[in-house]
Amino acid sequence: MSEARRYQQLRGHLSYLKLNDAAEALPRVLDQARAERMTLTTALEKLLEIEVEATEARKLASRLRFACLPEPWTLNDFDFAAQPGVDEKLIRDLATLRFLDNASNVLLVGPPGVGKTMLAVALARSAVDAGHRVYFTTAAELAAKCHKAALEGRWSTIMRFFAGPRLLVIDELGYLPLPGDGASALFQVINQRYLKSSTILTTNVGIAVWAGAFGDATVAAAMLDRLLHRAAVVGIDGPSYRLRSHQAHSDNLRKGVTGRAG
């Protein structure tokens, strides 16, 4: 068999096995192998490494699409020095994702603007990067989806959907009033994930007043009981990120105007 025919058969085998990135890289790897006098094993490892990296990149992109993270934030984007109300050591420990191993939860509690959502997204992104299935939603969106599913006879389907991710992030609990059946739907989602999968929840409502804050004191207490059984509670009481950013922007504008006037 000629060298050209053997080459075409090799490309054909790679394509048949759906190793398309390896097939695309084959000419380049063969040229590199000749130039650098690679062993057959080294060349083959190089070729398959290209396919593995491409496959991992596609899987990561798929996980990110499913996760619906609102921003591409990572923990490196969070300014711990500017937010002394955050326990950095605890957040760094949570970023190891050990809490996923025993289906623990994370509650981020504090007033608006202190960085709760940013931290939740950063932890979620760490989980996505580590290969876990993650989904991000707000409490209001979750309640609306459950309500719509109930009306359409898809309750079991929506419950399976929210039970599926290894990590579920529920943002902004307490910012908007939940509809009549919203607290019940949220409880059922929390209940079916209890001791099975982890949930990160951000809220501006202090834990001590949950029972009276969500309409149904019994449901709120039961939900809190399940969330706190295995949980890390991160209380944040510090300056607002958004207000600080707005103040810095205003200061820059004033400096610009003053500079031009001078």
pLDDT tens track for 68-100: 999 999 999 999 998 888 999 999 999 999 999
Lowest-pLDDT range of 87-96, 197-206, 211-220, 222-231: 211-220
Report which of 190, 194, 192 is spatially closest to residue 210, judged by C-alpha positions.
Answer: 190
**Helix (H) / strand (E) containing 124:** helix 116-129
Assigned token pair, 70: 């609102």
pLDDT exceeds cutoff 50 at 125 = yes
Average pLDDT over residues 178-192: 90
Instruction: Report pLDDT for 246.
Output: 47
Provide the percentage of residues in the chain whose pLDDT is more than 70.
90
Which residue do the tokens 């509809």 mark? 179
Phi and psi based region of residue 111 (left: phi greater than 0; alpha: psi -120 to 50; beta: remaining): beta
Phi, psi at residue 52, to the nearest 5°?
-65, -45
Quick check: 20 pLDDT over 70?
yes
Greater confidence, 251 or 98? 98
Here the tokens at position 43 are 């060349």
H or E element: which one contains 134?
Answer: strand 134-138
Separation between Cα atoms, residue 52 and residue 22, nearest integer Å: 9
Average pLDDT of the chain is 90
Q: Do 68 and 136 touch, CB atoms closer than 8 A?
A: yes
Question: Stretch 99-124: mean pLDDT, rounded?
Answer: 96
Task: Evaluate whether 72 touches 60 at the Cβ level (below 8 Å).
Answer: no
Span 188-198, pLDDT tens digits: 999 999 999 99
Output the 3-class SS for 177-195.
CCCCCHHHHHHHHHHHHCC
- 3-state secondary structure (DSSP) of residue 201: strand
127 touches 134 (CB < 8 A): yes
What is the predicted pLDDT for the residue at 32?
95
Confidence of residue 251 (pLDDT cuts 50, 70, 90): very low
C-alpha span between 182 and 191 (Å, rounded): 14
Number of H helices, E strands in the chain: 12, 5
pLDDT at 257: 44
Residue 209: what pLDDT?
84
Q: Which two tokens stand for residue 203?
A: 């809220």
pTM of the model: 0.86
In angstroms, the CA 190 to CA 199 distance is: 8
